[in-house]
Amino acid sequence: MRTPTSSFFISMSAGAVALLAAGCDPGSVDTGQIDDEIVCMAALTHTGTFAVGTPKPAEISGCWPLGTWTFTTTVGAHDCGSAPQPLAQYQIRVDRDLTSEDPDYSWLYTYVTDPADTTAQVSVTSGGSGLCAGNLVVYSADGKTVWNMHPALNADDTIGGTGEYEVHTASQIPREGSD
């Protein structure tokens, strides 16, 4: 049994199909996607040390990333014409945001190697292969070369970890407002 509502939707659907069949182009949708190809990749490993900044409070267990992370990067297997050349060392610093209220521990991240680099991304979370898992992403000026580094803070204040190096055909720098 057709109700007036179902008859309306059937009519609307038939009309939409008729418009499309008649050659009505609904237009294209710009997804914002850019064609990209990875033209070179390399595996990275990290070694280094951690200098404690603010000592860990007794009530905190696990990851306490406050301090300076200093590490070197070694290039492993790659499919590039020549091995990528990392910087002599990388440094990130994690400080406590003293404007936040206790016990809301909020962190401030600094890419110490080049604090003026507005595209570098630094973050730290619990876990990974150590107590804390860092993430440092550094882009070339054109955004096509990406150093995606994952330093891991161990219980003995050493840093290990891995990462990836990639060269793309399109910029990888995130656009404002994108996730």
* Assigned domain for 96 exists: yes
Q: What share of the chain is helix, strand, coil (3-state, %, to 5)?
A: 10, 40, 50
Q: What is the DSSP string of 120-169?
A: -EEEEEE-TTSSEEEEEEEE-TTS-EEEEEEEEE-TTSEEEEEEEEEEES
Cα angle 113, 124, 34; round to 5: 80
58 or 9: which leads in pLDDT: 58
* Assigned domain for 19 exists: no
* Domain with 163 in it: 38-168
* pLDDT tens digits for range 86-131: 999 999 999 988 887 765 668 899 999 999 999 999 999 987 666 8
Phi, psi (5° rounding) for residue 136? -130, 120
* Assigned domain for 74 exists: yes
| Token couple for 164 | 């990836």
Tell the residue number behind the tokens 């182009």, with chain if given.
25
* Assigned domain for 129 exists: yes
CB 149 within 8 A of CB 33: no
* pLDDT tens digits for range 60-95: 878 889 999 999 999 999 999 999 999 999 999 999
| The model's pTM | 0.76
* Assigned domain for 6 exists: no
**Side chain identity at residue 26, one-letter code:** P
Instruction: Give the chain's domain count.
Output: 1
* Assigned domain for 75 exists: yes
